[in-house]
């Protein structure tokens, strides 16, 4: 049933693309795909009719659904029949269709990206971040195999297309050197086409400067935090400049971006504390970025509540330990480790000299949340993060 539905949806999506010929922006990477998608849609939508992937519609189901403009039928046959009917209706009867499709593309297994790119044919390819050990790596022999699979999004691009790449990611930068098509790079590196500098974080957001083509302009993002948000903004600006929107308009609109749910949302906690809710998902590079933001934000004490990082396969133990070892240097006062794999956060922290009396281990997020609540003081800042299966939002 699943295979039949996928084939029908893909067939309909191909018909729709062939008829309307929208420009396609495809986004992949280890982290930051959804945030980049939202930011690009925000800026590009100020000038054009756009459609973006809903939520995380980035699979062989989700991408065709985005093209059709429908929602999943879950396990309901009648709902899937409704989706199929809508697909044919869009192809046969609709007169108005988005000028741009902004598609988030996920990879779980070898061959996923290759199958998608065989029929999607993007005009703009965006790679956010790879990092050293990407999530979903357990299905691949080596981390680089997963990166190469995601990179197929860029390899499919034609001579008149463009690749938008994170210059600060060593793997992406290395792969990018071999490209013969046009590229637009972004990052804190001075050699990037769009370069960020003077980054600062304060209690109500971040500020930084953007350099592009000899021009320098300030950017302020309200209630958006972390260097990862700078990358998100730069990716959006890079794409939209290529699409014909001028730099000042790009910056004006991107300044209105809001954090995606579960991605470093700053919330008020008990006893006049603050919480960084980063519970949507987790991976080594994402945790590193979140802990960095935790260390930068002004606070009396910093508390890390970290759940399992899943789908890391044989790299799981080592990556959990490595993250644990970095916490002491980032001025984290307390560590609450949640889950079977998270015990290696605690092990790594102890190895680094972290005060063992301030390390606590729990089986689930609810227990951890109750325990944290007992020690929270005014002025504390709590980071809560973990993979989806850890259900760390229950701690929040």
Where would I find the H helices in the chain?
Answer: 2-20, 33-44, 62-68, 77-93, 112-120, 143-155, 170-176, 227-242, 247-254, 284-296, 316-326, 343-351, 365-375
- Residue 377 pLDDT level (bands cut at 50, 70, 90): very high
pLDDT of residue 55: 79
pLDDT of residue 56: 74
User: In this predicted model, what pLDDT tens digit does every residue of 72-81 receive, in sequence order?
Assistant: 998 899 999 9
User: In this predicted model, what pLDDT tens digit does every residue of 132-150 receive, in sequence order?
Assistant: 888 888 899 999 999 999 9
User: In this predicted model, what pLDDT tens digit does every residue of 226-255 receive, in sequence order?
Assistant: 999 999 999 999 999 999 999 999 999 999
| DSSP secondary structure of 2-29 | HHHHHHHHHHHHHHHHHHH--EEEEEE-
Q: Half-sphere exposure of residue 341, counting CA atoms within 13 Å on the CB side?
A: 24
User: In this predicted model, what pLDDT tens digit does every residue of 96-112 receive, in sequence order?
Assistant: 999 999 999 999 999 99
pTM: predicted TM-score of the whole model, two decimal places: 0.95
pLDDT of residue 132: 87
pLDDT surpasses 90 at 362: yes
Instruction: Give the mean model confidence (pLDDT) for residues 261-273.
Output: 96
Question: What gap in Å lies between CA 230 and CA 237, rounded to an integer?
Answer: 11
- Residue 355 pLDDT level (bands cut at 50, 70, 90): very high
- Which residue has better confidence, 260 or 353? 353
pLDDT of residue 3: 92
Mean pLDDT value across the chain:
96
pLDDT of residue 298: 95
Instruction: Give the mean model confidence (pLDDT) for residues 38-65.
Output: 94
pLDDT of residue 226: 96
CA diameter of the chain? 67
CB distance 222 to 168 below 8 Å? no
**Token pair for residue 386?**
């973990």
Where would I find the H helices in 243-283?
Answer: 247-254
pLDDT of residue 169: 97
pLDDT surpasses 90 at 389: yes
User: In this predicted model, what pLDDT tens digit does every residue of 280-290 receive, in sequence order?
Assistant: 999 999 999 99
User: In this predicted model, what pLDDT tens digit does every residue of 164-217 receive, in sequence order?
Assistant: 999 999 999 999 999 999 999 999 999 999 999 999 999 999 999 999 999 999
pLDDT of residue 38: 97
Q: Cα angle vertex 316, ends 310, 321, to 5°?
A: 120
User: In this predicted model, what pLDDT tens digit does every residue of 25-51 receive, in sequence order?
Assistant: 999 999 999 999 999 999 999 999 999
Instruction: Give the mean model confidence (pLDDT) for residues 59-84.
Output: 95
């Amino acid at each position: 049933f699943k295979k039949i539905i996928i084939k029908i949806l893909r067939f309909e999506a191909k018909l729709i693309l062939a008829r309307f010929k929208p420009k396609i922006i495809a986004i992949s990477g280890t982290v930051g795909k959804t945030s980049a998608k939202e930011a690009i849609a925000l800026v590009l939508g100020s000038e054009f009719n756009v459609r973006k992937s809903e939520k995380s519609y980035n699979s062989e189901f989700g991408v065709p659904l985005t093209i059709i403009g429908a929602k999943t039928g879950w396990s309901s046959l009648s709902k899937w029949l409704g989706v199929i009917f809508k697909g044919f209706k869009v192809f046969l009867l609709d007169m108005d269709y988005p000028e741009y499709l902004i598609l988030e593309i996920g990879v779980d297994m070898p061959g996923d990206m290759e199958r998608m790119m065989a029929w999607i044919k993007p005009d703009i390819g965006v790679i956010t971040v790879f990092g050293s050990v990407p999530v979903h790596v357990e299905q691949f022999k080596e981390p680089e195999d997963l990166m190469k699979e995601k990179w197929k999004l860029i390899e499919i691009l034609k001579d008149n297309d463009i690749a938008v790449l994170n210059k600060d990611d060593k793997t992406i930068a290395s792969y990018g050197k071999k490209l013969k098509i046009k590229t637009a790079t972004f990052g804190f590196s001075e050699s990037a086409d769009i370069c960020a500098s003077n980054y600062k974080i304060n209690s109500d957001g971040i500020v930084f400067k953007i350099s592009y083509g000899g021009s320098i302009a300030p950017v302020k993002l309200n209630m958006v935090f972390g260097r990862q948000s700078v990358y998100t903004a730069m990716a959006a600006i890079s794409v939209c400049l290529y699409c014909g929107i001028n730099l000042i308009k790009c910056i004006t609109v991107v300044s209105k971006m809001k954090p995606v749910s579960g991605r470093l949302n700053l919330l008020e906690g008990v006893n006049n504390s603050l919480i960084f809710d980063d519970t949507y998902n987790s991976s080594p590079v994402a945790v590193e970025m979140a802990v960095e933001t935790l260390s930068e934000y002004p606070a009396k004490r910093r508390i890390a509540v970290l759940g399992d990082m899943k789908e890391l396969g044989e790299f799981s133990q080592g990556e959990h330990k490595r993250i644990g070892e970095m916490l002491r240097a980032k001025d984290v006062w307390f560590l609450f480790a949640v889950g079977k794999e998270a015990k290696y956060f605690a092990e790594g922290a102890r190895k680094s000299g972290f005060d063992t009396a301030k390390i606590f281990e729990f089986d689930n997020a609810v227990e951890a949340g109750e325990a944290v609540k007992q020690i929270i003081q005014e002025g504390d800042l709590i980071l809560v993060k973990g993979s989806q299966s850890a259900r760390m939002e229950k701690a929040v």
